[in-house]
């Protein structure tokens, strides 16, 4: 959920405007002998663009980009399943870090392509923008997740070796071809006759491209599970041969998914740690070539949990399909409430969209021939026709369900009206908190030590645990761009509270006012006063708890702060090691031992030092300090033990500090984790703690 990121923020000596004027006043002249001519234009052939700029195609060359290779091949198999031609998909992780993906679909065509004059298999594997997903009368797929025909060729380009085997539905024979870094090593070879059909790829990622070749089983498993939910009836199997001991009997580890109920099962899976107050409401319909599926279930929680997909692509930012669903929900439930007499027809007691979605888990899946997305990340569907299609299908289906299931209908209405009352109470509280606060130019929280800069892009807010650490931070900071907000004690657990109760918490109120972007329906990221919001808590259990509470607040009520990369976690040192005039800071025990060894005149082994510290040997100068052969080791229990200059040097100076940028790579996993850690159900939290207890470092008892 968080990745380490060192952030440097140098002080500005001149304003950006003045700098711009200086640059404009003295433009640099181009060298006379090196002009911008036709020779400057580089033409990349075949798959060279992929190898030259892999980040453009897979997002990067780190671990997420590496896993993208698997997704490309699996997505092709899923497209076959959505077209009704594939029932099984198998993924195998081999000990040599190669991966095999196979399906029982129709098989990539092997006949000669009319344009390339080569086998269609070789054309698809070695040419960008070649595939059967561009539509038209002869298109192989009415709907697909692949839009640009680059997927499998990108996988090929970024592999040192790739072997493809096609059991063809065209001639009933086996056909094979091998590639090296995107280029065919020979012609397609025709083999024996077979009764089955399908495609198998085995690839070896290029170590010169990727930073590290390390497959994460859980990441792959979660992705395959999601795809199996969205494609009901398909069987997806993951086999891990890398460590045969995992299974305990010398057999490879294996997990299989098959969901006949599709997204209905998905909604139940998402709500496994929540108490449901309705059955799963499943609605499906079609308009032309567009298909709509939705599963809805109400729970006793206060947050809305929405997962939307278009052609099995997770549209994390929603889009027109989700807009249509939300409109249908609000309209139908309001109509039902009036019809059942919950609201008199001549009175305005309308429920708002947020009222009818409180505690609602939504899984929306649409399939359409020509999906249009905003941006290259495919995060938001932009087809205008899908708004009315989804609204019609969901409206008719939901109205029918409520009429036929009055018990569920009553629970839904009661839940929505409680949410409406809470919303009105929250509105009153918000008006009091915000309109009399920073949003109307009045005083900021008294505890806030603001920075001088009014440029949000240059400003940062440290959220600090306690007055002691807050005092050190205020004295040690750079007042030009660093603001400090101390919080007293633990903030409210917002996972278990509605907005009206949340706004009754002084700590939460201070944080909202300090940020200046509002809350709830009035939240506006453009108004935020700091583009770096940094959580800085003690390196102990209480500090971790406070950090989790703050992360819960941002994840549930200000997710845009996370999505835009504004939220960070500061890492403070655990140890200070000094000897005479020499000193240094350590964030881990390994760093501590290296510093001790460096300062000792007699070279003592790192193992001996660790054992000495662990056994309590050495002269104790204070409860958190030991003297080992003239080297003093101080263990910091909290930020308050660092004086202002030390806090600046180790945790706040942009030149030296370590910041972890918070991001949410998988909303479903993050949502489940916050439910586990902060929800009302104790048993999942107990199980989580028992499972991960041994991996906890620096635990203070």
CA angle 97, 78, 279 (to 5 degrees): 115
CA distance 665 to 596: 38
From the list 185, 154, 204, 184, the residue with the least C-alpha distance to 52 is: 154
Measure the CA dihedral 136/140/145/147, to 10°.
-40
From the list 485, 489, 587, 479, the residue with the least C-alpha distance to 535 is: 485
Q: Which two tokens stand for residue 64?
A: 């997420």
Q: Give the relative orientation of helices 320-339 and 406-430 as an angle to the nearest 10 degrees.
A: 110
Residue 83 near residue 140 (C-beta atoms within 8 A): yes
Check residue 136 and report its DSSP letter.
S
Q: Which two tokens stand for residue 439?
A: 């949003």
Measure the CA dihedral 176/180/181/182, to 10°.
-40
478 phi, psi to nearest 5 deg? -95, 110
Task: Using CB atoms within 10 Å of the CB of residue 667, give its burial: 0 to 12 exposed, 13 to 18 middle, 19+ buried.
Answer: middle
SS3 for 339-368 is HCCCCCCCCCCCCCHHHHCCCEEEEEEEEC
Which DSSP string do the residues of 200-261 spell out, in sequence order? EEEEEE-TTTSS-----HHHHHHHHHHHHHHSTT-EEEEEE-S-GGGGSSSSPEEEEEE-TT
Residue 420 near residue 355 (C-beta atoms within 8 A): yes
Active site residues: 465, 538, 540, 542
What pairs with residue 553 in β-bridges?
Answer: none
CA distance 404 to 609: 72
**SS3 (DSSP) at 118:** coil
Residue 374 near residue 380 (C-beta atoms within 8 A): yes
Helical (H) or strand (E) element with 626: strand 625-628
Residue 301 near residue 313 (C-beta atoms within 8 A): no
CA distance 145 to 312: 6
Q: How far does Cα 364 stand from its chain's mean position?
A: 19
**SS3 (DSSP) at 161:** strand
Q: How far does Cα 684 stand from its chain's mean position?
A: 22
Q: How many CB atoms lie within 10 A of CB 133?
A: 20
Residue 514 near residue 485 (C-beta atoms within 8 A): yes
- Count CA within 13 A, CB hemisphere, residue 321: 31
- Count CA within 13 A, CB hemisphere, residue 451: 27
Question: Between β-strands 532-536 and 198-205, what pairing exists: parallel, antiparallel or unpaired?
Answer: unpaired
From the list 403, 117, 375, 67, the residue with the least C-alpha distance to 238 is: 67
Residue 461 near residue 514 (C-beta atoms within 8 A): yes
480 to 9, 467, 472: CA distances (angstroms) = 11, 21, 16
- Count CA within 13 A, CB hemisphere, residue 150: 16
CA distance 465 to 484: 10
């Amino acid at each position: 959920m968080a990745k380490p990121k060192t952030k440097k923020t140098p002080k500005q000596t001149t304003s950006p405007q003045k700098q711009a004027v200086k640059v404009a006043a003295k433009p640099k002249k181009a060298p006379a002998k090196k002009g911008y001519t036709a020779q400057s234009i580089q033409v990349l052939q075949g798959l060279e663009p992929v190898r030259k700029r892999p980040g453009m195609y897979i997002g990067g060359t780190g671990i997420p980009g590496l896993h993208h290779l698997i997704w490309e091949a699996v997505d092709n198999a899923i497209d076959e399943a959505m077209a009704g031609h594939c029932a099984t998909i198998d993924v195998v992780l081999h000990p040599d870090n190669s991966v095999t993906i196979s399906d029982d679909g129709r098989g990539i065509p092997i006949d000669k392509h009319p344009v390339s004059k080569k086998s269609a298999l070789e054309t698809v594997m070695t040419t960008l923008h070649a595939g059967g997903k561009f539509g038209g009368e002869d298109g192989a797929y009415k709907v697909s997740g692949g839009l640009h025909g680059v997927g499998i060729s990108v996988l090929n380009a970024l592999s040192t070796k790739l072997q493809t085997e096609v059991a063809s539905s065209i001639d009933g024979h086996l056909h094979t071809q091998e590639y090296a870094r995107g280029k065919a090593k020979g012609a397609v070879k025709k083999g024996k006759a077979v009764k089955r059909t399908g495609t198998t790829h085995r690839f070896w990622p290029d170590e010169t491209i990727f930073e590290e070749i390390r497959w994460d089983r859980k990441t792959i498993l979660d992705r395959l599970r999601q795809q199996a939910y969205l494609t009901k009836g398909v069987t997806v199997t993951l086999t891990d041969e890398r460590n045969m001991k995992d299974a305990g009997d010398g057999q490879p580890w294996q997990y299989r998914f098959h969901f006949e109920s599709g997204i209905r099962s998905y909604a139940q899976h998402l709500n496994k740690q929540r108490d449901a107050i309705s059955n799963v409401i499943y609605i499906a319909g079609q308009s032309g070539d567009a298909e709509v599926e939705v599963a809805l279930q109400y729970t006793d929680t206060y947050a809305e949990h929405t997962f939307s997909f278009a052609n099995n692509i997770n549209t994390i930012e929603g889009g027109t399909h989700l807009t249509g669903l939300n409109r249908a929900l609000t309209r139908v439930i309001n109509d039902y409430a009036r019809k059942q007499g919950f609201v008199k027809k001549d009175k305005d007691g309308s429920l708002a969209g947020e009222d009818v979605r409180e505690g609602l888990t939504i899984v929306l899946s649409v399939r359409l021939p020509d999906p249009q997305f905003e941006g290259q990340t495919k995060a938001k569907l932009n087809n205008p026709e899908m708004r009315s299609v989804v609204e019609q299908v969901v409206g008719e289906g939901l109205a029918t369900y409520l009429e036929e299931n009055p018990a569920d209908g009553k629970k839904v209405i009661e839940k929505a009206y409680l949410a409406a009352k809470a919303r009105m109470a929250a509105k009153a509280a918000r008006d009091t908190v915000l309109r009399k606060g920073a949003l109307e130019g009045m005083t900021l929280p008294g505890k806030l030590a603001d920075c001088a800069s009014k440029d949000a892009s240059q400003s940062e807010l440290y959220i600090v645990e306690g007055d002691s650490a807050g005092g050190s931070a205020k004295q040690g900071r750079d007042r030009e761009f660093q603001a400090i907000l101390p919080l007293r004690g633990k903030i409210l657990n917002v996972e278990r509270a509605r907005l009206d109760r949340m706004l009754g918490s002084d700590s939460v109120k201070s944080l909202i006012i300090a940020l200046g972007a509002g809350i709830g329906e009035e939240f506006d990221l453009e108004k935020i006063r700091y583009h770096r919001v940094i959580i800085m808590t003690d390196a102990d259990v209480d500090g971790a708890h406070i950090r989790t509470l703050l992360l819960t607040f941002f994840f549930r009520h200000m997710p845009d702060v996370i999505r835009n990369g504004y939220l960070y976690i500061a890492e403070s040192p655990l140890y200070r090691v000094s000897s005479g005039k020499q000193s240094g800071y350590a964030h881990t025990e390994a760093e501590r031992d290296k510093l001790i060894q460096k300062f000792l005149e007699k070279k003592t082994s790192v193992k001996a030092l660790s054992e000495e510290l662990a056994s309590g040997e050495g002269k104790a100068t204070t409860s958190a300090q030991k003297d080992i052969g003239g080297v003093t080791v101080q263990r910091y229990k909290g930020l308050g033990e660092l004086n202002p200059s030390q806090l600046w040097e180790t945790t706040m100076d942009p030149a030296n500090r370590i910041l972890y940028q918070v991001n949410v790579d998988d909303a479903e996993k993050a949502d489940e984790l916050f439910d586990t850690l902060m929800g009302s159900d104790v048993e999942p939290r107990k199980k989580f703690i028992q499972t991960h207890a041994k991996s906890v470092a620096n635990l203070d008892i």
